[in-house]
Amino acid sequence: MTGWGLSTIGRAALDLLLPAACAGCGELGSPCCPACAAAFDGARLFARGERVHALARYDGVARRLVLAYKEQGRRDLAAPLGQLLATAVPLLPRAGPDSTGTWWLVPVPSRRIAARARGGSHLERLARHCAAQLAADGHAVAVAPALELGAGARDAVGLARAERVANLAGRLRLRPAGAPPPGTPVVLLDDVVTTGATVDACLRTLTAGGLEVTAALALTAV
Ligand SMILES: [Zn+2]
């Protein structure tokens, strides 16, 4: 007798039938319950440098939700986490739309291997949900996947700042096909700011590409 396991399709069907559990506290009903969503307070951003802001500290419920989304396959968190980012984008000091009124969002790129394992770039997905919410709120908005990581970049988890800089050097590059015209103001979106090295490298690359990075916004920062 052969073993029987849940196929991918079977799992997907079950996911549709079963109510989602909050990835922060386990409560049934939604991927991120209101109490856990409150850990990300868009009205009380905290700064990590002049242009870098985050919605929450990388601990407790906020950390659990980000890890569930990024590492544990909880793609159903893209919508609620993207919506939380959207509440904060218009409040970012110094950030603004271009001369036609369009906000441009640039996701921090993922390594290709990680993106494949996660079924696509998790930050681009987050940026698209963020953009959808901004559009629903009446803003003109575009997602610009303007950065890419070349082959060979290691996962940054566990690397010290100097190692992260070396890891990115020469591998992070502008992706002209995904970039808006030079001079366009953009907002960089990230999930976790740890040493800040990744965000700094992205800001430098975008600036070198002629874009005006007015702000970087992360879900969490250490
Ligand atoms: Zn919860």
Where exactly are the structural domains of the chain?
39-221
How does residue 16 score in pLDDT terms, banded at 50, 70 and 90? low
Please give the CATH architecture assigned to the domain spanning 39-221.
3-Layer(aba) Sandwich (3.40)
33 alpha carbon to ligand 1 midpoint, in Å? 4
Look at 212 and 119; give whichever has higher pLDDT.
212
Max avg pLDDT among 14-18, 126-130, 159-163, 197-201: 126-130
32 alpha carbon to ligand 1 midpoint, in Å? 5
What does pTM read for this prediction?
0.86
Q: What is the 3-state secondary structure (H, E, C) of the chain?
A: CCCCCCCHHHHHHHHHHCCCECCCCCCECCCCCHHHHCCCCCCCCEECCCCEEEEEECCHHHHHHHHHHHHCCCHHHHHHHHHHHHHHHHHCCCCCCCCCCEEEEEECCCCHHHHHHCCCCHHHHHHHHHHHHHHHCCCEEEECCCEEECCCCCCCCCCCHHHHHHHHCCCEEECHHHCCCCCCEEEEEEEEECCCHHHHHHHHHHHHCCCEEEEEEEEEEC
Look at 192 and 116; give whichever has higher pLDDT.
192
pLDDT value at 2 more than 50? no
**Percent of the chain, pLDDT > 70?**
84
38 alpha carbon to ligand 1 midpoint, in Å? 9
Please report the sign of the dihedral spanned by the C-alpha atoms of residue 117, residue 155, residue 52, residue 214: negative
**Percent of the chain, pLDDT > 90?**
68
pLDDT value at 3 more than 50? no
Q: pLDDT tens digits for 34-88?
A: 999 999 987 788 888 889 999 999 999 999 999 999 999 999 999 999 999 999 9
Look at 154 and 69; give whichever has higher pLDDT.
69
The whole-angstrom separation of Cα 85 and Cα 138 is 15
pLDDT value at 118 more than 80? no
What is the average per-residue pLDDT within 94-120?
Answer: 88
> According to the model, what pLDDT value does residue 112 have?
75
Token duo for residue 195: 């040493």
Q: pLDDT tens digits for 32-49?
A: 999 999 999 877 888 888
108 alpha carbon to ligand 1 midpoint, in Å? 26
Cβ atoms of residues 118 and 72 within 8 Å: no
Mean pLDDT of the chain: 88
26 alpha carbon to ligand 1 midpoint, in Å? 6
pLDDT value at 111 more than 90? no
8 alpha carbon to ligand 1 midpoint, in Å? 26
> According to the model, what pLDDT value does residue 159 have?
67
What is the average per-residue pLDDT within 159-173?
Answer: 72
What is the average per-residue pLDDT within 127-134?
Answer: 98
162 alpha carbon to ligand 1 midpoint, in Å? 36
Rounded (10°) angle between helices 78-88 and 122-136 = 60
Token duo for residue 145: 């996947």
With b for 16 or more beta-carbon neighbours within 10 A and e for fewer, the 157-196 pattern comes to eebeeeebeebbeebbebbeebbbeeebbbbbbbbbbbbb
Question: Strands 140-143 and 147-149: what pairing?
Answer: unpaired
Question: Strands 46-47 and 52-57: what pairing?
Answer: antiparallel
> According to the model, what pLDDT value does residue 1 have?
43
How does residue 119 score in pLDDT terms, banded at 50, 70 and 90? confident
